[in-house]
Structure 1
Amino acid sequence: MDRSLTAQPPRFDITPHQIDNVVMKFYGRVRADSVLGPVFAAHVPEGGWPAHESKIASFWRNAILYERSYDGNPMQKHMAARDVHGEHFPRWLSLFDGVLSQELPPETARAFSALAHRIARGLRMGVEDLRAPAGAPPSL
């Protein structure tokens, strides 16, 4: 079967190279951030940044371009990381949005940001609900 007949079009106009660049610049900012830097450093081993960036770029290429190269479970990873808290997500999104606005055309940056915010809401809810006291209502 001709793959071009079954492949989904991308969510928005962006190249794999642009995604890779955003991820690389974003993690440069994360490493320098006084709050997020230590959290990520606890989970990304010394010398492990290229592999981590490659995996996350693959996640985004899958989410946006529908590539099938990502193998992972972001919800499981974030919930298992006991030092990741709900209050980290706004800071993460602020850094990410800053990179998007500097590296991408405005329309592409807005679309990528909207997707990142939607995914972050789900991850944040998972992290907060996991740590809520037994019987507490879920965060919505």
Structure 2
Amino acid sequence: MIEERSALTVDITGRTGVDARMTTRLVHGFYAQVRAGALLGPVFDAHIRDWDAHLARMCAFWSSVALMSGDYHGNPMGRHPHLPVDARHFDRWLALFEASAAALCPPVAAAHFVERARRIAQSLELGIASRHGVRLGRGQRFHRDAVVPASEGVQQ
């Protein structure tokens, strides 16, 4: 299994140029933008006490996502459903991620990261919507202000 994972990582690096150093640079650059932002900064600051530990965890996460390294062992969905976020937050998160990737990575590597970030954002948005009793159809987005209390029905 370790040999297979290593072979995947070597293949991905060869095709995209993504490596651990680039992943670390992207994570740190991206989160600097997140922390400085008016929409996302307060959400993250309210929930993250140790930014060094968070950044290390995010480097491991993105290494696993982008390089198939297996460095991350956690449950992203389990950490996000309670956050006060919706489509606006995910759109901003993606815009910052895409801008950071474009600024810090060669085009092929940026595309590799961004494709994965889009899937992650979609998955987390679906999970958060579900946590609020909202079932999103294809192309629908989660908007917290449209959530109807359970006694009145569910957002369609």
- The CA RMSD measured in Å over matched residues stands at 1.7
Within 5 Å, which residues of 2 pair with 1:52-71? 52-71=54-73
Structure 2: 5+ residue stretches without partners: 138-156
**Sequence identity (%):** 34
Is 1:9–2:8 an aligned residue pair? yes
Q: Give, as a single letter, the amino acid of the residue that structure 1 aligns with 2:123.
A: G
Within 5 Å, which residues of 2 pair with 1:94-133? 94-132=95-133
Quote the offset at 1:139 in angstroms.
0.7
Q: Give, as a single letter, the amino acid of the residue that structure 2 aligns with 1:139.
A: L
Quote the offset at 1:13 in angstroms.
3.1
Residues 95-114 of structure 1, C-alpha deviations (whole Å, 9 max, x = no match): 01000000000111012101
Quote the offset at 1:69 in angstroms.
2.0
Partner residue, 2:29? 25
Q: Give, as a single letter, the amino acid of the residue that structure 2 aligns with 1:102.
A: A
Determine if contact 1:18/1:104 at 8 Å carries over to the other structure. Answer: yes
Determine if contact 1:86/1:127 at 8 Å carries over to the other structure. Answer: no
- Which structure carries more relative contact order (alpha carbon 8 Å, separation 6+)? 1
Quote the offset at 1:119 in angstroms.
1.2
Is 1:36–2:40 an aligned residue pair? yes
Rounded Cα–Cα distance in structure 2 between residues aligned with 1:119 and 1:13: 21
Larger radius of gyration: 2
Quote the offset at 1:85 in angstroms.
2.4
TM-score (norm 1): 0.86
